[in-house]
Structure 1
């Protein structure tokens, strides 16, 4: 607590000094306004605005509107007129503008642009924004444009974002690294606390507006996330009155969903509600085959899974924005999620002992006799989250103070029963082992942030902020055997785990622009205090550490809509809770996975250089990156003499990840558009385990090709191909896979409704294949966690008809300093 109080006092003194000091300076003069479509009253983003002298019509200066159609241009006192030009609109002149020395901000209000009907008709090519728009450090994936996501979840959406992959257990990777921080609306969310995969599946795709990927974040962002940050932005409309969308979906295997997003804006108040209901029944299949190399005999086991997982999730989010005054806004929201899972998980073990000279393999093992273990699992996981955000805007454009508070509570109760018996030549010999397990998890999270932004003139800006996060997690795990009519506790597998983590952070950033060069430098300081405890065995592991996280960005604008950027940041990856929890799973008592409460955080230095080029019909981005990481966490599988195995994460290695990434969009004709990404990277990992040294070199190509055909009136067809190359892991290799998606949609009812048919993974090729090999054993596994469905979705938009005019893919560029954004 003393660190918290000290940090707040320092920050308050720092901000007060800046606010008082700048009050003595001469304020610059600005012309501001909002450029809007005359008919729809929608803001026109990234529209050029030129300022001319009224005396001799010479060009004085200019600017461009932001994503809300707002422009703010610094000028000296005098008389001017504006010329505003935008594709598909008539040029707009605003005359008789006089700027006085005594007026620092001249607001021209709403400036309406009328469309050029002839030009507009010739560029009608698409229904919504480009699927992916990107600047040098942030790219935005617009969810509504990807047809294959209709009727899906957040997990399906992330799996289709360029350079992002989601494995079969729901773990998210960015550029081949799982150490990525996932946020919702710029903040950590209770939806993702205990298990990111389950949390992502609980968020309906219909609730999501866009996904932002930040590969090399600046010091203003939380230092967590080695490979970057993924921010999921939920829907909240800005239009006046009531508007929204409603969605119903159904598919095979069983997959049903209902979604609603409603917004009501009037005067100073804006109310928003999101709701999503999802039910799915997923078949799970897979096998593990292993051999233990002995002197004369080779014991082998062939383990087969054919399971069924049923899940039902409800997600509700509601809140309001209220303008206290013209310069102050407060937003409050509440999020509630309740999910249940009922799973039937049978496992069969086929055991056999091969002789040295006998042909071996899983197909050589006799299958007439086997051990069967059946798990029946029920799980409930409620989440409740409160958010309050406050924004204070000062007289100077961009000068503001933001504060936010979040509290979330997440629980998960998992109860399982196990019956195990032996089938001998088709005859069931009865149940020989009865067990049960209970996993009761409770999670509390409190986050408070303060962010202060102070521009100096047009091209300079200072930022500072403070953040605190307090996490308390408890996990009680109990495993029992039923023996002689009573339940006996298994001491080796039962305990109570406590995890407390406090993180306090402060940052400062200075950025400026000189001609075509933008630069920004920042420093973030974080103090972390962690305590873990196994209550029953009284094992405690307190630790604390202080780290500095510098960042820097250079951006240079070249002629012809070209930009280049060089950036650096230092990042940290603290072990996730399920990496630390020593009691992870007991469903397969021969292959147990557990966490490691003694893990240390990984630290990474990240370097990146990028280039972006825009054309009228497309864009292309190229990035070269290198990440050097220490204390790398990797799962290691330990095979015991009795044939059972234990997998747990260890700090083993140092890694160097070098990559080359391409992202592009090409729209040559009105009926065809192609989006794609290629990520080639080489990951060199070196580590030691039990006196043995291992090294792996990985060369991977991740491709994501999305042709989009718009040949029919108000209709689209989309195909996606995704290839994931093999990956080296400790003592083995994870095999590659390819995924093909198809989707088509048709608009009707005056573009107020859309029906979509989406088939994800049409060839059922999304499977997890791995091989492990050493001098003592060999293991191969193949798993499919869930079968991707074919889904039919109906979407209806209330007072929010789909517009079918083309939008430029220019995203403003400018790098981190130009884009801003607070998290």
Structure 2
């Protein structure tokens, strides 16, 4: 940015100082191409100046194009030509001895100026974090922006943010972070792919981290928001990356990301294809303590996918103050879900009464579309005076058919066949308008509105094989329709001085939610309006010590899969279903956070309190050895906790990053006749170590621990696991070889147990170790990256 700014200012000065009285002896065209002497690469935005030989003042001038070429006209007679670029030695040419209509300088090669480059580094700013009322802002300094690092590498330098070697982003140790580009959702940052590798550090101005968002943002609860703010004067040219990955269990992909920037257009695209296998080892135990009978099951479920992904979009810079963006994304997943589960029934004497196997064959196609239109206007009176409108559309479909076959091994006859069919469609449309007006340097007003429409239809059918033919089961067949519209409007006002600031806001959201079981005409309509206030304040003691306090009210609206009463019969002794009568849960969130910058270390320490009403939690009922899990609104939850995270780089080759989160909670509630009042605690910790080894090798090891904790019915076991990655930079950092191992010791096990007076239920799930090897190459200004065509998770 500094280089570009110098060239722009130089060009402007050339225009301003052009003398009015110049010799009128004809126009001369001067042209040529400016390149780097070391590698022949063209230099964009180099300055070409025509100067007066006597006064040494500029007469005419221009800057080079993306390919290094230039052409300018001059009427001067006694002049010289100067070609310069920051960090390179200047070249000077005198006028030719014979005057002609065209002067072709040809290939002008500039050599690097070591003294200039060293001076830039010394004077460059160092990246640092500061509090800005409702957010933490990480300003990207020259120590990062001149390295050519990717956006993912810059994010990994932000306190509380971690990016593992596969490109997964986490905030305060939790994934599921909402990533925004310039304050809005973007296909570049969507979960459908990873195009952040085409954004380089020199394009980023700052990164904003919001753990407790203000009223400007959706009241819908998330684990946090990260907003990547790009510089207005992005460098132009072609950025790109190509990656090839393979792994075990089978996971193979090829991805290409391209970004082309010109004077008025920014064109970006991504193509990806691959296949992956995702096995899950499952084990369940259902014990009827009244009849002393038990059903045991264990097996492996697979979700094998072939997927395709295509992204295409453009930014059109109408002029300096108006930008129009249009982008689209298409993806297709083709699923194959074979599974095999063994069942054993034990009688009251704990003897085997019967054994059988249940196999599944499932095929599905999942098309996905996403498109976006955005208009942004910058007002001339202030750089932060903006108007932003965006429209975002998403479509997801699933056309799935399954067949289940029970085969008796011994004992009672359990032979049976079942077929299911699912036709699922979901459309989400989001329209957003934001207006920001900085009245003075200290006072700012913001206002805006958002309208979200969510329309879902799930046509589900079960057929049983009876007397040689499949017969529909009307008790398990229906069409579930879900329609939700949320209108939100907000206003915020803030004062921000040099040391102290305060920001208050209020958001009003009106929700209209309707569910309908078409076949049985069972409807549930909810219509409610809520206010969501927020208040934030911060105080800066010094450049190294700051404190921030905040409050916001949040909401969690039940999703379609929380509400849909129908379930997958993959394991018909362990059933999960939705509840159309669910109410939203509300949370009042308070937190105080401090930040300390101590040389090579940054430390964040915070305390928080969250009070949640109508908490949604799954309740299990038990009948005939069948456990049915269903979400219910169960009372209130009060959680008070502390958070500590630190990043420390004692040497250039070593970086340590630790996260620790502890909270104690009090649950109060009643369901039917059962009282669920109890208190418990839980904590999580993570330690990530990055080591730069010789020969451009990077080693990364991450240890994770999640303590055991209690829910209203279950006891969830603790979990300890480690991930490891090894990366090798080749071809001067433009290419990367990457080896990663998830769950190195196969110790990541999800395990829970319900112990009630009349029954016990035990569940265990494990995915096992995953090994991946990848190669990626970045060209232009694009960084080598790992492509990840992430599937939509449900």
TM bin, normalised by shorter chain, reads 0.7 to 0.9
Q: How many Å apart are 1:616 and its aligned residue?
A: 3.3
Gap change, CA 1:583 and 1:302, over 3 Å in 2 = same
- Does the Cα contact within 8 Å between 2:198 and 2:781 map onto a contact in 1? no
Q: Which residue of 1 aligns with 2:193?
A: 203
CA distance in 1, matches of 2:309, 2:230: 12
Aligned counterpart, 1:422: 408
Deviation of residue 146 (structure 1)?
A: 9.6
Which position in structure 2 is the counterpart of 1:390?
A: 375
The residue number in structure 2 matching 1:169 is none
Counterpart contact for 2:451–2:487, Cα < 8 Å = yes
Q: 1:592 aligned to 2:578?
A: no
**Structure 1 equivalent of residue 479 of structure 2:** 496
The aligned counterpart of 1:645 is 627
- CA change 1:241–1:189 in 2 (3 A) is closer
Task: Label 1:585 to 1:204 Cα distance change in 2 as closer, same or farther (>3 A).
Answer: farther
Deviations 1:675-729 (A, max 9, x none): 1211111222222112111134332221121111113142211111111111212
Which residues in structure 2 correspond to 1:108-147 (within 5 Å)?
A: 117=118, 137-138=135-136, 143-144=152-153
Seen in structure 2, the aligned counterparts of structure 1 residues 655 and 723 have a Cα distance that, compared at 3 Å, is same
The one of 286, 291, 298 equivalent to 1:304 is 298
The alpha-carbon deviation at position 800 of structure 1 amounts to: 2.5
Whole-angstrom distance in 2 between the partners of 1:155 and 1:411: 31
SS at match of 2:479: strand
Distance 1:802 1:189, change over 3 A: closer
- Distance in 2 between residues matched to 1:714 and 1:704, nearest whole Å: 26
Match of 2:527 in 1: 544
Match of 1:578, SS? helix
* Partners of 1:181 and 1:225 within 8 A in 2: no
Q: How does 1:114-513 map to 2 (within 5 A)?
A: 117=118, 137-138=135-136, 143-144=152-153, 161-165=170-174, 203-204=193-194, 214-225=210-221, 228-229=224-225, 238-294=234-290, 297-355=291-349, 370-397=355-382, 398-424=384-410, 432-513=415-496
Alpha carbons 1:236, 1:263 under 8 Å: kept: no
Query: What is the CA-CA distance between 1:543 and the residue it aligns to?
Result: 1.6
Higher Cα radius of gyration: 2
Q: CA deviation at 1:229?
A: 4.4
Task: Evaluate the alpha carbon distance shift between residue 187 and residue 484 of structure 1 in structure 2; reply closer, same or farther with a 3 A threshold.
Answer: farther
Q: 1:448 to 1:311 in 2, by over 3 A?
A: same
Deviation at 1:346, TM superposition (A): 1.4
Could you tell me how far 1:491 is from its partner in structure 2? 1.4
Tell me by how many angstroms 1:292 deviates.
1.1
Once the two structures are TM-superposed, the CA of residue 545 in structure 1 deviates from its matched residue by 0.4
- Structure 1 residue runs of 5 or longer lacking an equivalent are 1-33, 42-88, 91-111, 148-153, 167-171, 173-179, 193-198, 804-823
In structure 1, C-alpha distance between the alignment counterparts of 2:277 and 2:409, rounded to whole Å: 28
Cα distance in 1 between the residues matched to 2:758 and 2:557: 33
Mapped contact 1:750–1:801 kept (Cα < 8 A):
no
Indicate which of 601, 617, 620 corresponds to 2:600. Answer: 617
Residue range with higher mean Cα deviation, 466-475 or 678-687:
678-687
CA distance in 1, matches of 2:164, 2:729: 26
The reply to whether residue 654 of structure 1 matches residue 636 of structure 2 is yes
Deviations 1:556-580 (A, max 9, x none): 0112421101100011110011101
Q: Secondary structure at the match of 1:479?
A: strand
Distance 1:376 1:212, change over 3 A: farther
Shift of 1:145: 7.3
Q: Structure 1: how far apart are the matches of 2:684 and 2:506?
A: 33
How much has 1:790 moved relative to structure 2? 1.0
Counterpart of 1:687 in structure 2 is 669
Instruction: Give 2:22's aligned residue.
Output: none
Shift in Å, 1:182: 7.8
The answer for the alignment partner of 2:18 in structure 1 is none
Q: Does 1:533 align with 2:516?
A: yes
Change (3 A) 1:492 1:182: farther
Distance in 2 (CA, whole Å) between partners of 1:142 and 1:375 is 43
SS at match of 1:161: strand
Inter-CA distance 37–354: structure 2 relative to 1 (3 Å threshold): farther
Q: Higher relative contact order at CA 8 Å, sep ≥6: structure 1 or structure 2?
A: 1
Specify whether residues 292 and 278 from structure 1 end up closer, same or farther in structure 2 by C-alpha distance, changes over 3 A only.
Answer: same
Question: Following TM superposition, by how much is the alpha carbon of 1:496 offset from its aligned partner in structure 2, in angstroms?
Answer: 0.6
The 1:613/1:461 distance shift into structure 2, 3 A limit, reads: same
TM-score by length of 2: 0.76
Query: Partner of 1:564 in structure 2?
Result: 547
- Residue pair 2:515, 2:524 contacting (<8 A) in 1 also: yes
* 1:320-366 Cα deviation digits (max 9, x unpaired): 011111110011100111112101111111111234xxxx7xxxx65
Change (3 A) 1:235 1:207: farther
Q: Where in structure 2 are there 5+ consecutive unaligned residues?
A: 9-85, 88-112, 139-149, 157-162, 201-206, 785-794
Aligned to 1:3: none
In the aligned structure 1, how far is the partner of 2:618 from the partner of 2:232? 40
Q: Distance in 2 between matches of 1:236 and 1:704?
A: 36
Asked if residue 761 in structure 1 is aligned to residue 751 in structure 2, the reply is: no
- How far the C-alpha of 1:388 sits from its partner, in A, is 0.6
Q: Secondary structure at the match of 1:579?
A: helix
Compute the displacement of 1:214 (Å): 2.8
**Structure 2: distance between partners of 1:373 and 1:727:** 33
Closer/same/farther in 2, CA of residues 399 and 40 from structure 1, 3 Å limit: closer
Residues 109-166 of structure 1, C-alpha deviation per residue, up to 9 Å, x if partnerless? xxx998653996999x9xxx99x9998735889634799xxxxxx9996876243446
User: Kindly tell me: are residues 657 and 600 of structure 1, through their superposed partners in 2, closer, same or farther at Cα, counting changes over 3 Å?
Assistant: same
Residue pair 2:556, 2:586 contacting (<8 A) in 1 also: yes
1:715 aligns with 2:697: yes
Instruction: State how far apart, in whole Å, the 1-side matches of 2:721 and 2:182 are.
Output: 29
Aligned to 1:35: 2
Note if contact 1:696-1:728 (Cα within 8 Å) is conserved in structure 2.
Answer: no
Q: How do 1:678-757 residues align onto structure 2 when only pairs under 5 Å count?
A: 678-757=660-739
CA distance in 2, matches of 1:506, 1:745: 47
- Does the aligned pair in 2 maintain the 1:759–1:790 contact within 8 Å? yes
Q: For 1:145 and 1:190, how far apart are their aligned partners in 2?
A: 19
Pick from 665, 668, 679 the counterpart of residue 647 of structure 2: 665
Cα gap change, 1:483/1:234 in structure 2, threshold over 3 Å: closer, same or farther?
A: farther
Point out the more displaced range, 227-236 or 343-352. Answer: 227-236
The CA distance in 1 between the partners of 2:295 and 2:239, in whole Å, is 59
- Alpha carbons of 1:727 and 1:186: their partners in 2 closer, same or farther (altered >3 Å)? farther
1:787 equivalent in structure 2: 768
CA RMSD of aligned residues (A): 3.6
- TM-score normalised by the chain length of structure 1: 0.74
Structure 1 distance, partners of 2:662, 2:321, is 47
CA–CA distance in structure 1, aligned partners of residues 650 and 482 of structure 2: 55
Deviation at 1:779, TM superposition (A): 1.8
Residues of 1 paired with 2:181 and 2:212: CA distance? Answer: 18
How much does 1:411 deviate?
A: 0.8
Would the aligned equivalents of 2:654 and 2:692 in 1 still touch at CA under 8 Å? yes
> Following the alignment from structure 2 to structure 1, what is the Cα–Cα distance between the partners of residues 181 and 356?
44
